[in-house]
Structure 1
């Protein structure tokens, strides 16, 4: 009897300690938000018990920026399988007829060469490319029109090649190195400042003098088209590719390209927007949908993101859209579902570790915290969501969302670091 009373007393003490820690953290969050005149939302959940530890304005909507990729990752993990669908094809006489699946890995400069490339390269048949139905737009809703030349806003397309960018690198022996060499004829002088500038409506790249120091690299999105796709296929495969409009009819087979986790890691570690958008195309292919990101998102919400704490305003795969709105508690719900549905070591491996990898390499550097998280930033907004091991060894699921801050992003990063250190100590 005394043992039971002692156990009950311990439970009360732990509960009071937890409430005290929660109040202390909430007080500091309120002071931080008031002092810095911005909007802050924080959700923290114990991964094992599912208990909410912190819920500071966690039911309010925030622009997630690249935290949107957490939702894209979850949807893709649910349905895509172990490899990306690289292309669809069938053999007709002496011809290999094929069409794109939106696979982003075909000669992507940061990914292994895909099976789809070798399949076409080594095919003995005549190659005939079907251009597809073109049901989606090159940019997503709410993307910034004047970011057309930013490396982070590559266009969407049915058959991406080289990540839909032209890569230029400064070289000690020449003015520039183009990758692929296909783009050399498109380089012209006439730029007004250092670096390389693309014309808004043509794939013409202007430079001034020696625009890039040796070793410095600049990736510039290209304007995609069926004609460009065929030209790049011809150049990269070293053989003639015929094109036909429309969708390939009849029964088709699929050639897989690369392991999905390879693509997942690049998307999550380096916040690759093209990969995020085209992973939603992979989701569409697996569900027999059109290659349309919006349609894939609606399907994912209906079939895999039911019974969320709050409705989702989800408009693109990458987070480039200013229209996206999620709540912190919805994000921790998705992160918690990942842990319940997939092996923990796999889930954590898909998120960069703070102080060590990717976009959070310099975040909380040389600190004892062990955090695996995805960042997301726009001007005036910075968010970080993922997994944190507390001082007591508990695995916590968290989402910290900072919006509408009238100052540099680095200030928001420091505030986020302070919040996570407080959570680390408190639980």
Structure 2
């Protein structure tokens, strides 16, 4: 917690003068034109700032700004927590409500992506293979089946993180058949993957399915629709609740989730389409149009009690996990984060479900000494409002990663203030290029956690989680910058 007593007495008269003249630490009375004033944050004049900096230390300025925000009209009724932590001394420099469990939004991805990198390695790749059974006769007729064997590649066909488009994968597969001398397929194209089996389960608790057109279904299918369009039309049902008007549907089970508020336009988007099915169907169509007849159908087969002997034709490798995590954190990609959660679950427990992934992540965090008090880890992306974490736990977790061999890759995956990803429009002045952090945004939730490079050459760790604020998200961003900027001089 902020401790003012140890220095307030020494600067009381000076501070009082600043309060009366500039209102830097007094309650700011809210008015309709509050945000439109030339000095919306009620900042002191440049001359006063210079005088303050010569009298007050950087830490004192951080503490005063935190104290100011307690009475700010945007934050005074919010629940929020803040901590700046020194990874070398292992001590808190400044804090407020650092032990309060708060909704972390997309800063949850910090835990998910680190677990994946720790367990799988930054060079891990997903393979999607084309194989065939049976034999090829002298006329180039394959009397057998083609197999597309997936491994849960979340980037398949998306162009994300350097992933190939579907047409490029299909072209490579077609060339593989040409090398084998196959001119006709007298059989089926069988999809063998367990990618979506885990989605036939209870939906995660309290998930924000769509909000401000920015949040997505963590599981979905597009059937014969191109997954690149990522759209699922929601059709009305006769089973509406009389009390709730808005609903969200998972296409993998008959479960409706009701909500009090809906801000969408009737079209929900999904970041986990049925990619293997689309790949297989498009591959079949391309072969037929290209003069390679396929007599059979596309058939999904999750398990195979009596597998056929098969020959490998071609293998498509995904981008590295490091590349996937870079894309995930820069763009705050919810679908990739949920896929990473399922992947670690599958690698450890042989089961690609959210439940298995959640268990693996929490066990990993325990083994790494994560402070589990106040942690509630529900999903991989931070879409659930039932996620909770404390600012101090986030800060100590980020500190613990600094000695890991993958720390540089992990750090580089985070958006940079004023320069990249979801932080490109924050810290365009002070802090530009010095803040490396994951952002999080839900309705009335704005969060930021990561690292800062100070003007004195230090690397500090911070967490700033704001729940139930008033005003707009841009107003909160300004307050977050106001709190963090003095810390750059620590």
Correspondence for 1:244 among 293, 300, 306: 300
Instruction: Name 2:462's counterpart in structure 1.
Output: 398
Are 1:75 and 2:115 an aligned pair?
Answer: yes
Check 1:162–1:151 CA distance in 2 against 1; reply closer, same or farther (3 A cut).
farther
Q: Where do residues 361-376 of structure 1 align in structure 2 (5 Å cutoff)?
A: 361-369=424-432, 370-376=434-440
Q: TM-score, normalised by structure 1?
A: 0.73
Correspondence for 1:315 among 366, 375, 378: 378
5+ unaligned residues in a row in structure 1: which ranges?
Answer: 1-18, 169-182, 187-198, 204-218
Structure 1: distance between partners of 2:470 and 2:439: 19
Check 1:84–1:158 CA distance in 2 against 1; reply closer, same or farther (3 A cut).
farther
Alpha-carbon contact 1:155-1:221 (below 8 Å) kept = no
SS in structure 1 of the partner of residue 466 of structure 2? strand
SS in structure 1 of the partner of residue 162 of structure 2? coil
> By how many angstroms is 1:143 displaced?
1.8
RMSD (CA atoms): 3.8
Structure 1: distance between partners of 2:112 and 2:128: 21
Deviation readout 1:284-308 (Å, 9 max, x if unpaired):
2322421112211211211344332
Q: Where do residues 145-294 of structure 1 align in structure 2 (5 Å cutoff)?
A: 145=209, 150=213, 152-156=215-219, 164-166=227-229, 221=269, 230-235=277-282, 238-239=286-287, 242-248=298-304, 256-294=317-355
Structure 1: distance between partners of 2:209 and 2:444: 19
Check 1:28–1:293 CA distance in 2 against 1; reply closer, same or farther (3 A cut).
same
Check 1:115–1:75 CA distance in 2 against 1; reply closer, same or farther (3 A cut).
farther
Give the stretch that moved more between structures: 327-336 or 282-291: 282-291
5+ unaligned residues in a row in structure 2: which ranges?
Answer: 1-55, 135-143, 234-246, 252-266, 288-293
> By how many angstroms is 1:323 displaced?
0.8
Instruction: Name 2:418's counterpart in structure 1.
Output: 355
SS in structure 2 of the partner of residue 75 of structure 1? helix
Alpha-carbon contact 1:98-1:248 (below 8 Å) kept = no
Correspondence for 1:332 among 383, 392, 395: 395
Give the stretch that moved more between structures: 388-397 or 132-141: 132-141
> By how many angstroms is 1:398 displaced?
0.9
Correspondence for 2:85 among 45, 68, 72: 45
Check 1:162–1:137 CA distance in 2 against 1; reply closer, same or farther (3 A cut).
same
Instruction: Name 1:6's counterpart in structure 2.
Output: none
Structure 2: distance between partners of 1:394 and 1:57: 24
Check 1:201–1:21 CA distance in 2 against 1; reply closer, same or farther (3 A cut).
closer
Are 1:135 and 2:198 an aligned pair?
Answer: yes
> By how many angstroms is 1:269 displaced?
0.8
> By how many angstroms is 1:155 displaced?
4.3
> By how many angstroms is 1:345 displaced?
3.3
> By how many angstroms is 1:414 displaced?
0.6
Check 1:22–1:110 CA distance in 2 against 1; reply closer, same or farther (3 A cut).
same
Q: Where do residues 21-32 of structure 1 align in structure 2 (5 Å cutoff)?
A: 22=59, 25-32=62-69
Alpha-carbon contact 1:328-1:400 (below 8 Å) kept = yes
Instruction: Name 1:10's counterpart in structure 2.
Output: none
Give the stretch that moved more between structures: 320-329 or 130-139: 130-139
Alpha-carbon contact 2:151-2:193 (below 8 Å) kept = no
Structure 1: distance between partners of 2:365 and 2:224: 30
Are 1:107 and 2:157 an aligned pair?
Answer: yes
Check 1:269–1:42 CA distance in 2 against 1; reply closer, same or farther (3 A cut).
same
Check 1:166–1:151 CA distance in 2 against 1; reply closer, same or farther (3 A cut).
farther
Structure 2: distance between partners of 1:293 and 1:158: 17
Deviation readout 1:81-111 (Å, 9 max, x if unpaired):
3133234787543444344433211111434
Q: TM-score, normalised by structure 2?
A: 0.64
> By how many angstroms is 1:162 displaced?
9.6
Structure 2: distance between partners of 1:145 and 1:304: 26
Aligned length: 363
Alpha-carbon contact 1:374-1:384 (below 8 Å) kept = yes
SS in structure 2 of the partner of residue 333 of structure 1? helix
Instruction: Name 1:411's counterpart in structure 2.
Output: 475
> By how many angstroms is 1:395 displaced?
0.4
Give the stretch that moved more between structures: 59-68 or 32-41: 32-41
Structure 1: distance between partners of 2:376 and 2:106: 14
Structure 1: distance between partners of 2:162 and 2:154: 11
Check 1:112–1:231 CA distance in 2 against 1; reply closer, same or farther (3 A cut).
same
SS in structure 1 of the partner of residue 448 of structure 2? strand
SS in structure 2 of the partner of residue 84 of structure 1? coil
Structure 2: distance between partners of 1:349 and 1:162: 35
Correspondence for 1:85 among 114, 126, 141: 126
Instruction: Name 1:191's counterpart in structure 2.
Output: none
Instruction: Name 1:211's counterpart in structure 2.
Output: none
Deviation readout 1:41-64 (Å, 9 max, x if unpaired):
112222333332223211111101
Instruction: Name 1:8's counterpart in structure 2.
Output: none
Give the stretch that moved more between structures: 324-333 or 47-56: 47-56
Check 1:322–1:99 CA distance in 2 against 1; reply closer, same or farther (3 A cut).
farther
